[in-house]
Every structure is written in C-alpha cells, then in structure tokens.
Amino acid sequence: MNQLLKQVLLFCVCLFAVSGHAMVSFPAVTLDAMADSLSEEGRAYAAGDYKKAAKLYRPLAEKGDAEAQLILGSMYDFGLGVPQDYKEAVKWYRLAAEQGNAKAQSKLGSMYDIGLGVPRDYKERGKWCRLAAEQGDAFAQLSLGEIYDHGKGVPKDFKEAVKWYRLAAEQGNVFAQEKLGWKYILGDGVPQDDVLAHMWLNIAVSNDFTPGRKIAVQQRIDQRDAIARRMTAEQIVKAQELARKCTANKFAGC
C-alpha cells in the first residue's frame, strides 16, 4: 500500500473515532417521533416543542412504552426539552433496550463505547450492538463490524468485521460502504481488489445525501481517485459498471 493511501486511511480512522456518538445518536429518534405525528406528543416533537414533548412522553415511558423510553432517552442525550443528562439518557435507553428495542440497544452500545453516562466498557458495547445488529439495525451492524475490525472487547477478526460491514452496506449505510471499500484496498478479511474497492467508495460517494457532509464526501472522492491512479482504464470502467448495477439492485449481492 503506498504512502498516500496510508495517510488517507489514518485520517479517516481518526475522524470516525471522534464523530461516532453524533453518527449513532442523531437521526433515528427524530424520524420515529415524526412517524408518530398523529399523536399529540409526536406533533409536539415534530414541531420542535421539546418541553411539551418531554412532558407527554414521560408518562408513556414510565408505563413501559419502549418507543417513548427511546425518545425520552434521546431527549436527555441531547438536551432537547430537558437538561442534558447522560445518566438519565442511559436509564431510558436501557429500559427500552431490555424490552428488545433495537435502536435503544444500538444507542446504549454507543454510550458504553464512548463512556457517556456509564463507564466505557467495550464488552457491554459489543453485547448491546450484537443484539441490535442481529435484529437488522444497520448502524449496530456497522458498530459490530468496527468492534471486530479493531478487536475492542473481542479478538480481532477481519472476516467477521467484513460480514457485519456488508450487512450494513446492503441497507445503504454509507459508512459501512466506505469501510468495505477500505477492506478491499487493504485485503483485510477479503482478497485485495482495487475494482471492488473503487466500486464501494463510488457507491458511498453517490449514496450520501446527509446535509452538511460535503467534506466527508470529498474525502471519499479523494480515496477513490487515489486508487484509480493505479488502475487500468478497463478496471475503472468495470468498477463504475459494478457500482451502477449494485445501486440498481439496492446494494444486494454486491
């Protein structure tokens, strides 16, 4: 692997480490609350009246409603309508997670990963991420792949990392798609293959529609183009065609 690729990889690993909590925690609860917009609490949340939403979600959460527990936990996590309190967030995430709520399990895993509201504990992170990943939660699958990739609380296992990255990538998770690209660059857990590396990075570039991510998308473009400089024209055409087919098939069987 040339020096440029090594430098880009190191930068991306560091960026992923510092941004993990925001990546895990931001989107899911907002979408759940908006999907429940016919309820009074859902309408309050969607309208940004978080104090009213917290007041309405609390009795539901106290009665054992797992979705309300998840949402209330997230509100404490980010200080929406309530004082930011990671311990209180963990409390509600745990109650929902123990009822089998996959998003809450994934979020609880992220709290153990970073050490917010609980001591950092990679084994606990792995436990909750696995439960969520086995239910099909894409971000938990990404996180479980990262656990095996770096040997956090488990023996390092690149093949197992690739397995979970692929499951998340097939659900459209751009971070997992990028991770798969790097696995093919490095030949970790899969045979080294510039064509498939280019394909997955190209997919991650075209599949990232999150506002405000221009820098991250440009980094993927730079990664892809660095690989292309050592590929033949025929290989690049093949990689581009594979990316089109994979996207058309909604990332299945790539």
229 contacts: CB under 8 Å, gap ≥ 6: none
- Tell whether the torsion through CA atoms of 147, 151, 155 and 161 is positive or negative: positive
> What's the distance, Cα to Cα, between the start and end of the chain in Å?
24
pLDDT of res. 37:
53
pLDDT of res. 214:
85
Q: Which residue ranges form the domains of the chain, and what is each CATH number?
A: 22-137 (1.25.40.10), 157-254 (no CATH)
Q: How far lies 191's CA from each of 185, 186, 196, in Å?
A: 9, 8, 10
- Single-letter amino acid code for the residue at 56: L
Q: How far lies 180's CA from each of 161, 191, 224, in Å?
A: 9, 12, 12
What is the residue-level pLDDT of the chain in tens, covering all 254 positions?
333 333 333 333 333 333 345 444 343 354 354 445 568 998 999 889 999 999 999 999 999 999 999 999 999 999 999 999 999 999 999 999 999 999 999 999 999 999 999 999 999 999 999 999 999 999 999 999 999 999 999 999 999 999 999 999 999 999 999 999 999 999 999 999 999 999 999 999 998 877 778 888 899 999 999 999 999 999 999 999 999 999 999 999 89
DSSP 8-class letter at 250: T
* Distance between CA atoms of residues 64 and 62, nearest Å: 5
pLDDT of res. 76:
98
Q: pTM for this structure?
A: 0.83
> Of 164, 175, 235, 182, which Cα lies nearest the Cα of 205?
175
CB neighbour burial string for 8-44, b if at least 16 within 10 angstroms, e if fewer: beeebeeeeeeebeebbbeebbeebbeebeeeebbbb
> Of 20, 93, 94, 82, which Cα lies nearest the Cα of 45?
82
- Tell whether the torsion through CA atoms of 144, 146, 151 and 153 is positive or negative: negative
* Distance between CA atoms of residues 246 and 254, nearest Å: 6
pLDDT of res. 207:
86
